[in-house]
Amino acid sequence: MMMTPEEILEDFSWLESWDDRYGYLVELGRGLPPMDPADKTEETRIEGCQSGVWIKTTTAGSPPVLTFVGDSDSAIVKGLVAIVISLVNGRSPKEILALDIPEFFAKLNLENHLSPTRKTGLNEMVKSIKQQAAVLVEMEAADDPAT
């Protein structure tokens, strides 16, 4: 079951030890809906992650709303994927671009407890999602004769 960002923040606030927080990250990852193995392609793979990370984006509606599915072969990273997806899922491209995802992770106080490679992977996930949103915003602007 996917948690909301607010629920994740609240749950993290109750966890005192880092073992508990890492355990919770693993639980969040287990709660991700399964990703179809056919969707784990080079196109959906996030470059720059030490472990395998895949995030597939689907766009529907007008104005567009984005939905995401993701997976990782690392339990902790899969938890990070779950948090990122909880933040961006069901939002418009403009809303995604306006999100301060690093600020959210700062509130979770994970910064000092993630290895440099995990931090890099997390940044690459966010960068990839924001780039996709930016492309959609640009396409929307190009299609709008009023701009």
- For residue 144, pLDDT over 80 is answered with no
* pTM passes above 0.85: yes
Q: What is the pLDDT of residue 77?
A: 92
In contact, 122 and 89? CB cutoff 8 Å? no
The confidence band for 1, taking pLDDT boundaries of 50, 70 and 90, is low
Domain that holds residue 131: 5-143
CA distance 72 to 117: 14
Q: What is the pLDDT of residue 119?
A: 87
In contact, 79 and 27? CB cutoff 8 Å? yes
The more confidently predicted of residues 140 and 132 is 132
Give per-residue pLDDT as tens, 79-119. Answer: 999 999 999 999 999 999 999 998 999 888 877 788 888 88
Residues known to be catalytic: 49
For the four alpha carbons of 67, 71, 72 and 75, in that order, the dihedral sign comes to positive
- For residue 2, pLDDT over 70 is answered with no
The number of distinct structural domains making up the chain is: 1
| Residue 105: both structure tokens together | 């992770």
CATH of the domain at 74: 3.90.1010.10
Kindly report the average pLDDT of the chain as a whole number: 89
SS (HEC) of 50-109: CCCEEEEEEEECCCCEEEEEEEECCHHHHHHHHHHHHHHCCECHHHHHHCCHHHHHHHHC
